[in-house]
């Protein structure tokens, strides 16, 4: 059965979508912008700060569904500028490590909502 995931620990949806959806043991998050869920503003700084916030938002949605960053199978990452790739990877590896990290696609997007520098979505499972 499909379940809608909704948590106050991640930003509310800014369109006609859910923060996440689970089906059986699988959990899929919507793309998480680097919005602070309490202020709905981006953190001060640049790509590193925005990457950290996006990943914290992914984590919050996963945890609401009973999953975790440890159970992520795949991420899709969208960068506004591929020049940010190295700095993005520094923060990404803080969350997922460098060995045993999930499968990942990382692309430069033409433009992200609200002029974000990054957006991240994930597919995980509940243990």
Structure tokens at 45: 């700084």
Q: How confident is the model at residue 91 (pLDDT cuts 50, 70, 90)?
A: very high
DSSP letter string, 51-66: HHHHHHHHHHHHHHTT
Domain assignments of the chain as residue spans, ordered by start = 2-125
Phi/psi at 89 (nearest 5 deg)?
Answer: -60, -35
pLDDT of residue 98: 85
d(CA 61, CA 21): 9
Stretch 23-28: mean pLDDT, rounded?
98
| Paired strand residues for 5 | 20
How many percent of the chain have pLDDT more than 90?
95
Whether the CB-CB separation of 95 and 69 falls below 8 Å is answered with: yes
| pLDDT tens by residue, 45-89 | 999 999 999 999 999 999 999 999 999 999 999 999 999 999 999
Stretch 17-25: mean pLDDT, rounded?
97
The CATH class, in words, for 2-125 is alpha beta
d(CA 67, CA 126): 5
Stretch 79-102: mean pLDDT, rounded?
97
d(CA 114, CA 42): 9
Taken in order 31, 110, 35, 84, the sign of the CA dihedral is positive
Q: How confident is the model at residue 14 (pLDDT cuts 50, 70, 90)?
A: confident
Stretch 17-31: mean pLDDT, rounded?
98
Q: How confident is the model at residue 20 (pLDDT cuts 50, 70, 90)?
A: very high
């Amino acid at each position: 059965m499909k379940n809608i995931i909704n948590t106050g620990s991640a930003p509310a949806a800014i369109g006609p979508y859910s923060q996440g959806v689970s089906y059986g043991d699988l959990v899929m998050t919507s793309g998480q912008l680097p919005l602070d869920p309490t202020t709905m503003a981006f953190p001060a700084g640049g790509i590193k700060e925005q990457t950290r916030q996006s990943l914290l938002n992914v984590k919050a949605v996963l945890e609401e569904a009973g999953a975790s960053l440890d159970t992520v199978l795949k991420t899709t990452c969208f960068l506004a500028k591929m020049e940010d790739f190295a700095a993005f990877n520094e923060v990404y590896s803080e969350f997922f490590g460098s060995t045993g990290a999930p499968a990942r696609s990382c692309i430069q997007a033409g433009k992200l909502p609200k002029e974000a520098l990054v957006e991240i979505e994930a597919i995980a499972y509940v243990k």
